[in-house]
Amino acid sequence: MLSTSIILLLFTYTTVKISAFSRFPVGALFNDQTNPTTEEVFEILLRPDSSKPYNARILHPKVVDTYSIAQDLCSETSDNGGVVALIDARPTNGICDITCLLCNKLNISHLSVGWQTTDTSDEDLFSFFYHPPPQLISKAFATLIKELEWDKFTLFYEDDDSFIRVQEVINSWPYDNDHIHFEKLDPEGDNRETFKNVFMVLRISYHVLDCDVNHIQKYMKEIVSVNNSTQYQSFVLTALDSYLVRLDEISQLRANVSTLHLTKLNEPIWRDFGVNTNEISVPLETALTADALNHLEKAMRSMRKKYAENDYTEPPELCFSVEKAAYQEKACTYGNSLRESLLENTFRGATGDIIFDEHGKRTNFTLYYSKLDSESKFVHVGTWDSKTDDIITINTAVTDRSKAVTSESIVRVVTKKGMPYFDIEESNGTIVYKGYAVDLIEGIFKHIRQQKGYEEIRHEIYKIDGNSIGNQISGTKKWDGLIGEVLELNAEMAVCDITITSERSSVVEFSTPFMSLGISMLFSEREPQPPDMFSFIKPLALDVWLYLATAYIIVSFVLLICARMSQQDWVNPHPCNQNPENLQNIWSFYNCMWLTIGAIMTQGCDILPRAIGSRWVTGMWWFFALIVTASYTANMSTFLSNSRRDNEIKDVKKLSEQHEISYGVLINGSTYKFFENSNDSVYQKIFTVMESAKPTVFTTSNDEGRDRVVRSKGTYVFFMESTAIEYYTERHCDLKMVGPKLDSKDYGIALHKKSPYKRLVDNAILALQETGELLTMKKKWWESKEKEGNCEKTKEGDDNGLQMENTSGIFLVLVCGGVLGFFVAIIDFLLHAHEICVKEKVTFREAVISEWRVSLDPRAIHKPAAPPRSTAPSTATPSPQRERSQSRAVSVLRAATSFINFDEIY
């Protein structure tokens, strides 16, 4: 009987030991910051089950600070109430607090589900973090943003912890930090002004929203209250529970929203755990807590197989010790075994594969990529793998949400500033948009509103900051300028002088052309040369004039010698006298010079040579004068024509063959691309010269090119569209279009690929074209009565006559010659008067007065041989010289009478 009792007591003791060893005590630490669902699901998982290797209990202290919590845990784990593992559902805040330190000192596994790893995680060997490290999570979001091809975005955050959660997004960003705009949100306040500044002023369309998952709906409601066009916005939500938020309850939200998450809705594993997900929404914290408990269970089962026969010892209490050695004495004897089992055993839980590295951090996990569909519900479209850092799309049917065309649609139209297409002016405190693009859009939407179902459709116009039509950003698939605004869904369409090109058509869709044009050259009137009063000298070079003057003198002298030597030039002075005593030769040096000058002036002469030699010399001189005069006349005509010619460049070929005039184009525009991609040798040469020119001949806008042409005064040509040239030449008299158009192209409205507005816009443009409204719009904005530049000069330039500035030298020569002749005549007159006063014995005054009176009387054809004396003449007999003087005076008088009266012959 006694032996039976001893055996029964021993069996009972052994059973208790084995049972105690097979049911490890586990604690779960919660506080008021823990999601209530987590504790609720944890209690479901703790339903009695004799097969479970643990005996778990919930520890929920009422205190908040870490020291008081540690004190409560000490009392709850005393009296053989210790735990071998503690599941801690509190946020860690990056610090291993007292509870965490006690667990690591006593070899108790501390299983944390907080998102932030501790700073001493590499030293805390018994700490396990079931939430993936924030560095890897932020790396996944950085990959997602690159996949979405964002080039600029706003980071909305609530606290500084956001910079830990998105640190890889910031650190790995390939652009400057200026491309990331940071805005802090107030979860308790009103953030509408912040959103309004980002959407309306900064016009940023891409955003990362890092906030508590419970605040997402609040922020989205504020966003739709300040921005009706949310379809042009894109958001990435960093909270891993964001996919659980019911954004379909915000009917006005039409933004593109993407997120990554660690769990999935309605996972079958929850049914295995006995959790009804239709009644309970399982957040990430709850899933991590459940995974920690189930992973712990698997590790304990594995450890129990290895250590079932070992002596069982009660786990230590979580209390402070005075000395370090006390912790070592009380440390859990199989704590290391449990730690190794947790590291060795993997588990497939609600958050994916549970795999730890040597420091107790999650590794080799997968994130799910989801985005809103057309019904505002998150749909799983891909996965991110931490091993490859790649996003693999598995559902291509879900695309970015786009706005359907409805009667309440607000269509955003982007343009750029620059007349005649778009400009902004302020009138009475009101901002007014004007220009061809504004009238065109108004006409298009007026036609669209006439269609059934689109009566209430609205539109709004905004401008970009720069002047770029759009070019592809190097190294990316993104574009800048107007094309970039359309591609990034900031606008439904872009309207301006957008040339339809194959490169642009590959990324956007163009409407029916609303204007045709071609490339031509904008040139300026050359700076007029200062008038040259001696321009009549220019047809012959200076050395020709000198040789001509020398030849004139030499020929006159040769003619004189020939005439004096030839007997035929010695004639009878009185033809009636058949036997003259003397012969007369009229060829003095003065007469020879008169004959030669008359010949070269093509006026002839009243005296001509009679001898063969003198006539031969005269004939050769006439032939020479004919050639010289004809050459002068021809060169004078050519000179005048060249002086009137304001531009020698008539086409692009002549422009490429000269080096005096430079030429340029708008950089990276369609005209630039035309020359860059052309196979024509002339155009290739043009582009090569422009590209190598220093300083650069490229401009950043058409207005800059126009101003450069105006300033150059005929030394710079600007290639641009003919429509722009027509606009500038209408307003500036010094500008003109030179040469024929180099190509033919069209302007169109840029829209998204497969845009629902394409058909409506095409029909509207065709209707405006058929009614002539497009032509009316162009006349309105192109024609102008206000002109700049020297318009008067342009009008005068139309007159092909010789201008006074160029002939004033001829008049000056005439005046100088007349004045010189007048002075010579006066001197000759005075000398003649002096001779008379000497010969006639009269005073010089009497001789001058007498001669002057006769000279000024146009009716007098005779004059006295000697002037009247003021005193009585002498009674002495006139001297023989006096008689001869009188006879000569009579002879001169008779000769003058004979010369004037041709009928009297002696």
Q: Tokens standing for 789?
A: 């530049």
Q: What is the DSSP letter of 181?
A: E
Contacts of 345 (CB under 8 A, 6+ apart): 295, 298, 299, 302
H or E, element range at 489: none
∠ CA(147), CA(153), CA(158), 5° rounding?
115
- Asked if residue 671 belongs to a known ligand binding site, the reply is yes
CA 719 to CA 407: how far, in whole Å?
Answer: 44
Residue 368 CA to residue 103 CA, distance in Å, equals 33
Cis ω on the peptide bond leading into residue 420 (within 30° of 0)? yes
- Give the separation between CA 472 and CA 481, rounded to whole angstroms: 9
CA angle (783, 785, 789) in 5-degree steps: 105
- 234-237 and 256-261 strand pairing: parallel
Cα(438)–Cα(459) distance, integer angstroms: 11
Query: Which residues make Cβ contacts (< 8 Å) with residue 226, sequence separation at least 6?
Result: 192, 195, 196, 199, 200
Give the tokens for residue 231.
């379809």
Type and span of the H or E element at 491:
none
> How many CB atoms within 10 Å of residue 324?
8
Which of 262, 291, 302 lies closest to 354 in space, CA to CA?
291
Pairing between strand 54-59 and 24-29? parallel
Question: What tokens were used for 727?
Answer: 């606009």
Beta bridge partners of residue 260, listed in sequence order: 369
Tokens of 416: 């750029």
Give the Cα separation of 629 and 19 in Å (integer): 138
Residues 6+ apart with CB under 8 A from 259: 236, 237, 238, 239, 240, 242, 243, 369, 370, 371, 378
C-alpha dihedral (163, 168, 174, 179), degrees to nearest 10: -20
Instruction: Give me the DSSP letters along 51-108.
Output: T-SEEEEEE--S--SHHHHHHHHHHHSTTT---SEEEE-S--TT---HHHHHHHHTT-
Is residue 122 within 8 Å of residue 147, measured between CB atoms? Answer: no
Q: Are strands 24-29 and 85-88 parallel, antiparallel or unpaired?
A: parallel
The helix (run of H) or strand (run of E) holding residue 41 is helix 36-45
Q: Rounded CA gap, 78 and 258, in Å?
A: 49
From CA 841, how far away is CA 897, in angstroms rounded? 25
Rounded CA-CA distance 248/231 in Å is 14
CA–CA gap between residue 782 and residue 780 (Å, rounded): 6
At a CB cut-off of 8 Å and minimum separation 6, what does 608 contact? 595, 615, 618
User: Which contacts qualify for 559-562: CB closer than 8 Å, 24 or more apart?
Assistant: 559/587, 559/592, 559/595, 559/596, 559/609, 559/614, 559/617, 559/618, 559/621, 560/587, 560/588, 560/589, 560/592, 562/609, 562/611, 562/613, 562/614, 562/617
Helix axes 589-600, 612-644, angle to 10 degrees: 40
For residue 641, say whether it is annotated as part of any ligand binding site.
no
Q: How many CB atoms lie within 10 A of CB 563?
A: 26
Give Cα separations from 878 to 293, 836, 865 (angstroms): 168, 16, 16
Binding-site members for L-glutamate are 499, 504, 670-671, 721
Binding-site members are 499, 504, 670-671, 721
